[in-house]
Structure formats: C-alpha cells, structure tokens
Amino acid sequence: MFEFLAHSAWLIPCYPLVGMVVSLLWTPSIIRRTGPRPAGYVNLVMTLTAFLHGLGSFPSVWNHPPQYLSIPWLEVAGLDLTIPLEISATTIGVGLVVTGLNFLAQLYAIGYLEMDWGWARFFSLLALFETGMCALALCNSLFFSYIILEILTLATYLIVGTWFNQSLVVTGARDAFLTKRIGDLFLLMGVLAIFPLAGTWDYRELGIWAQTAQVDPTVITLLGLSLIAGPMGKCAQFPLHLWLDEAMEGPMPGTVLRNSVVVSTGAWILIKLAPVLALSPLTLTVMIGIGGVTAIGGTLIAIAQIDVKRALSYSASVYMGLIFIAVGTQQQEAALLLMLTYALAMALLIMSTGSVVLNAITQDLTQLGGLWSRRPITGLSYLVGAAGLIAFPALGGFWALLKLADGLWSTQPALVGVVLLVNTLTGFSVTREFSLIFAGKPQQMTVRSPENLWLVTLPSTILAGATLHLPLLLQRLALLPHWSDLNHTLALLLSGSSLIGCGASAWIYMGDRIPKPVRIPWAPLQNFFALDMYTPTLYRSSVVLGVDWISRLTDWFDRNIVDGLVNLIGQFSILSGESLKYGNVGQTQFYLFTIVSGVFVITAFLVWPLISPLLGSLF
C-alpha cells in the first residue's frame, strides 16, 4: 500500500492541477447561478487528497534510497527532454509541507475572502502554486525547474493582481512579474549555457559532472552567477528584493504561501545546484555577500516599517538571505532544515497578523495596539510563530540556526557573527510587531476586535501546534543533534542573542517609556531604512528610466529616420509619377501604372531566357 503510494507520488502535483482546472470553470455566468464558493471547496478537497497521498507514501520512502522515475516529454533533434522525478524522503517531505500549508491557507482563505467574488481566480491560482511547488520538489531537472519557476512568475503576477482595480496592486503585480522575470532570464541563460558543457540538466548527473568538470574559470563563474540570479529574484534578495514588498498588496492567504514557501522555490533550486555552484569560488562568495547584505539590511528595513505585512515580507528576504549564506558555504542540510522551520513559523506569523488585519481593517502598526486581552488565541499564535522563527531554544528555528552557525563556527567565524546579529535584529523586529499589535492600550481601530471566524482562527491554531511539535518530529526522524554533540557555547550565544533582541525591543515598545512612534535621533538613517534604502527610487531613475528612454528613442528613430527615409523615396517616386499623369488624374491610376509596369518588367524577365539564346545566335 505504502509502496504503491510512493510509486505514484507523481500524482501529488496532479491533484491540485485538477482542482485548478475545475475551479476555472466558475466563470462569471456560472457564479451567478452557484456563487463562487464551490470553486474554493473543490480545491480544498484536492489539496487534502494530495496531502494524504504524500503522508501515506512517506513511511515507505523514509530511510530508503531515493527512487528515480522518468516521464518522456519531448525528444527532438538529439535533444532528449525527459522529465526525471526523484521520490525521496526530502522531496516527499517538501511536498507534505507545501500541501499541508496550502490546505491551511485555503481553509484560511475561505474565511478571509468570505465577501470576495473572485474565488475561482484566486483559488485556481493557489492551486497552480501548489502544483508548481510540488512538481518542483519532485522534478529532478534544471530545465523543468526553470519551466516551473517561470510559470510561477506568471502566477505571482496574477495572484498579486487579484484585486486589480487598485492602482498599487497593479504596479505591485507589474514589479513582481518583471523583477522575477529578470532573474528567470538570467537563469534561462544559465540553462542554455550549461547544456553544451555538461550535456545534461538532470541534477544528479550535474552533480556527477561537477566532480570532474574542468571548465574555463571565466565561463563557469559567469554560468554560476547566471544560475544564482534566478533564485535571487525568487528569494527576493538584494537588489531584486523590491517585488516582495510590493506584492504585499495581494490578498493575505496568498501572502501566507508566498512568504513561507513560494520564496523558498529559489532556495530549493540553489540547494539542488550546489555542486555546480561550488565549481566557482567567486559565485559562492557572491552568494554569501548577497545573502549577508540582504539578511542584515532586510532586518533593519523590517524594523523601520510601519506596515506589518511589509515588515514581515522583509523578514522573508532575511531568512532567504541566511539560506544563501548556507548554500554559499555548502551547508545544504542546514539550508533545508532552515527552510522547513522557517516555512511553518513564517506562515503562522502571517496568518495571525492577517487575522488581526482582517477585522481591524488596517495593517498600520501605529494604529494597532492593546489586542492581547481581546485576541488571546491570535496573540499566542503570533508568539509561537515568533519563537519558532528566531533561535528560541528547543523550537525549530533554534535548531536550524544552530546547525547553520555550527557549520560556520570553525571555518567562517565572521559569518557566525552575521547569523547572531541577524537573529538579534529579527528578534527585535518580531517583538516590536508583537508589542505594537498586542501590548499597549487599544486604539480607535482596535477597540472592537474580537477573534475571527473559526475558518480563520483554526488554521493558525493548527499551525501553532505544528510549529510547537516540529522539534519532536525532527527528533523522531533523528534530524536533531544529540545533546553531547551540541556546541554549547554557540547554543548559549544564539539564545542570548534572541534574548537581547527581544528584551531590548520589549523594553522600547511595551509600555510608555519611549514615546511612539519611535524616532531615532538621526532622521535620514531612519528614512533610509523606512524607504527600503531608496531602492524604488534607484530603480526608477536607472533601469526603468533607461528602458523608457531607449524605447522612446527607438520609436522616434523608427517613425522619423527609417520610415521617414522610405517616405522620402516614396514621395519622390510619386512625384515622378505625378509628372507622368499630367497633374489631374487620381492617385489610383498611379498605382495601376506601378502594377502594369511591374508586370511588364516581370514578363520581360520571364521571356528573357527565351530570347537570350536567340540574341546569342544573332551575335
């Protein structure tokens, strides 16, 4: 039974795909008859099926070597595009996290979007994301991973654009699409370039190739850089991080998935590509650099935000930055563990803040406060999420960060410092959000704010349970280090850094010791971080302006130079035609004249071979 489920694991992405296709049938005319809700229920059922299938197949893949399947797709001109699948504990595990979180997010969406009419569109997109991510987990080929990432880029555009009649949503969707697309195109260049070198896109075979590959250092460095550009866009790494912030204009249930698992799609590719990336030391250094800059910069920006969704979106970039550091230092296992613990904790944070945003009707932290007594379940969920995210001893984030820092301990002590700093600052950031939402006195927007409908509250409660139980599960699966192997100094340092961050933040933001909103003495610095290090302005004045100018210039050139020249010749010939027409005949005759003369010339050419021998014989 389990064996059979494992063999048919390729069905896992197919269930949500069916859900997507079915829910697309709810066009406006059918919605008028049935309402939009069935479209959501279909997806919920399909997602649950996918989750149960994954759960059923897990026992037979755990502690077993991975199985490889292949599905023929296209074979053309010597290019064999077969879809290779890897069915292993890791890939099924990723599928479980994706489908599980999707199920909770869809349940949440049924409550959250109760009044919305766009269910068919929204749920089919959620299902598309689920399909894409499950397929990405199973698929073992760079080429097909690229395909999936690119489709998800389109899906991001559409899901961010769910509420398309607001102007911020429209620009957010546009920027998300274009930023990710830039990354994707570099990835495509890498996909194109790696094939002639390695002769395969299969990750397994790429790994084998990478062991013995002898490639020109410049080529492999360029290749490595282009391959990390795709994940940079997906993981919202500096300087391609802008879209995630703007994507917060989309509906909250989509954000739950985007911030927790969708951003990790890039990290997944990175982990899969790690052997190839290791061929180029410069690529690894760049990854560590980008990850470090994003991690530290991102937390500082997050602390300066007053919009809770945006603050959390920067925290997503931060953790992806840590994963970049992990892969850059070749610690794939730590990266995977961090991805897992991060996904659950972040989803929980977004769900609980979303629950507040839903009936406080604002996501502005300065307008919230005093909700602890009114929203104890949400408050507890938030606390669990925050504790699971940062290095809070015994919870998931602690083990993941410990593993990461432990790997850096002997080789790259400076990076341990980065991890500690990021952990401190993240602790500061999440505690700040908690204090501003739940502590203090109620404000106008939060006076009447009861717990939400069970559809919204229950998923976050379940997820809080999952986050709390995650370490137990990890221990059962023997993924946690034994107590005697533990790096005690590091464990203490990590716990201490969390304590310092959270404590400092609580001291500042709880109570009235410091007047709110908090201003740091030097305003330009605060603005620098509050305005995302001026990245939007930078983009507008460089890339956007550049493309705009060049396209206008091309258009001008096209209209005036290229076409102008042609028109000049045309006018000249029309003038000469006019002289033939003695002035008073309509233009039509000129065209007729052209045609007739053309036909004459053609006929002359046609008969030429006939008369040329005649002429030849004459002379």
Partner 1 sequence: MLNVLIWFPCIAAVIVALLPQAIAAHRVRFISLCLSAVTLLWTLWLVSQFDLSNPTFQFRESLPWLPYLGLNYELGVDGLSLPLLGLNSLLTWIAIYSSRVDTERSRLFYSLILLISGGVAGAFLAQNLLLFFLFYEVELIPFYLLISVWGGTQQGSAATKFLLYTATSGGLILAGFLGIIWFSDTTSFTYEALLGQTLPLNIQYVLLILLLLGFGIKTPLVPLHTWLPETYVAASTPVAILLGGVLAKLGTYGIFRFCMVLFPEAWAQVSPGLATWAVVSVLYGALAAIAQKDIKRMVAYSSVGHMGYVLLAAAARTELSFVGAISQMFAHGLILALLFHLVGLIEAKAGTRDLEVLNGLMNPIRGLPLVSALLVLGGMASAGIPGLVGFIAEFLVFQGSYATFPIQTLISVVGTGLTAVYFVILLNRTCFGKLDNDLAYFPKVNWSERIPALILVTLIVVLGLQPAWLVRWSEPTTSALMAAAQELTPMPRLFTAKVLSHQSPPLLSVLEDSPST
Residue ranges in 180-239 that form contacts with partner 1 under rule CB under 8 A:
181-182, 185, 188-189, 192-193, 195-200, 205, 208-209, 211-216, 219
Cβ contact 270:231 at 8 Å: yes
Q: Which is nearer to partner 1, 4 or 556 (CB)?
A: 556
Q: Which is nearer to partner 1, 76 or 478 (CB)?
A: 76
Dihedral sign (CA 274, 277, 283, 285): positive
Q: How far is the CB of 537 from partner 1 (least distance, A)?
A: 20
Does 27 sit near partner 1 (CB under 8 A)? yes
In DSSP terms, 5 is beta-bridged to none
Written as six digits, the tokens of 90 are 């890791």
Dihedral sign (CA 333, 334, 339, 344): positive
Does 572 sit near partner 1 (CB under 8 A)? no
Does 21 sit near partner 1 (CB under 8 A)? no
Q: Using the rule CB under 8 A, which residue among 609, 614, 617, 618 binds partner 1?
A: 609
- Conformation bin of residue 369: beta by default, left when phi > 0, alpha when psi is -120 to 50: left
From the list 157-165, 351-359, 430-438, 465-473, the region that binds partner 1 by CB under 8 A is: 157-165
From the list 242-250, 263-271, 467-475, 590-598, the region that binds partner 1 by CB under 8 A is: 590-598
From the list 67-75, 263-271, 377-385, 575-583, the region that binds partner 1 by CB under 8 A is: 67-75
Residue 324 CA to residue 228 CA, distance in Å, equals 9
Site residues for partner 1, 530-559, by CB under 8 A, read: 547-548, 550-552, 554-555, 558
Q: How far is the CB of 158 from partner 1 (least distance, A)?
A: 7
Does 14 sit near partner 1 (CB under 8 A)? no
Q: Which is nearer to partner 1, 514 or 562 (CB)?
A: 562
Site residues for partner 1, 28-47, by CB under 8 A, read: 28, 31
Q: How far is the CB of 531 from partner 1 (least distance, A)?
A: 24
Q: Using the rule CB under 8 A, which residue among 570, 572, 580, 589 binds partner 1?
A: 570
Count the neighbouring beta carbons within 10 Å of the beta carbon of residue 557.
12
Q: Which is nearer to partner 1, 173 or 389 (CB)?
A: 173
Cβ contact 180:233 at 8 Å: yes
From the DSSP assignment, how many helices (H) and strands (E) are in the chain?
26, 2
Q: Using the rule CB under 8 A, which residue among 57, 91, 102, 153 binds partner 1?
A: 153
Does 157 sit near partner 1 (CB under 8 A)? yes
Side-chain half-sphere CA neighbours of 345 within 13 A: 30
Does 77 sit near partner 1 (CB under 8 A)? yes
Site residues for partner 1, 86-145, by CB under 8 A, read: 117-118
DSSP one-letter string for 62-101: TTSPPEEEEEEEEEETTEEEEEEEEESHHHHHHHHHHHHH
Cβ contact 277:287 at 8 Å: yes
Q: How far is the CB of 28 from partner 1 (least distance, A)?
A: 4
Residue 343 CA to residue 262 CA, distance in Å, equals 9
- Conformation bin of residue 83: beta by default, left when phi > 0, alpha when psi is -120 to 50: beta
Residue 503 CA to residue 431 CA, distance in Å, equals 8
Helix (H, G, I), strand (E, B) or coil at 527: helix
Q: Which is nearer to partner 1, 168 or 518 (CB)?
A: 168
Does 164 sit near partner 1 (CB under 8 A)? yes
Residue 315 CA to residue 3 CA, distance in Å, equals 40
Written as six digits, the tokens of 350 are 């977004």
Q: Using the rule CB under 8 A, which residue among 1, 33, 65, 79 binds partner 1?
A: 79
Residue 13 CA to residue 381 CA, distance in Å, equals 30
Site residues for partner 1, 294-313, by CB under 8 A, read: none
Q: Which is nearer to partner 1, 45 or 544 (CB)?
A: 544
Nearest to 234 by CA among 276, 187, 189: 187
Site residues for partner 1, 344-403, by CB under 8 A, read: none
Q: Which is nearer to partner 1, 212 or 410 (CB)?
A: 212
User: In 410-510, which ranges are continuous DSSP H helix?
Assistant: 413-438, 454-476, 488-509
From the list 23-31, 236-244, 368-376, 507-515, the region that binds partner 1 by CB under 8 A is: 23-31
Q: Using the rule CB under 8 A, which residue among 514, 594, 596, 600 binds partner 1?
A: 594
Q: How far is the CB of 207 from partner 1 (least distance, A)?
A: 10
Q: What is the CA radius of gyration of the chain?
A: 30
Residue 233 CA to residue 320 CA, distance in Å, equals 11
Site residues for partner 1, 457-516, by CB under 8 A, read: none
Q: Which is nearer to partner 1, 550 or 585 (CB)?
A: 550
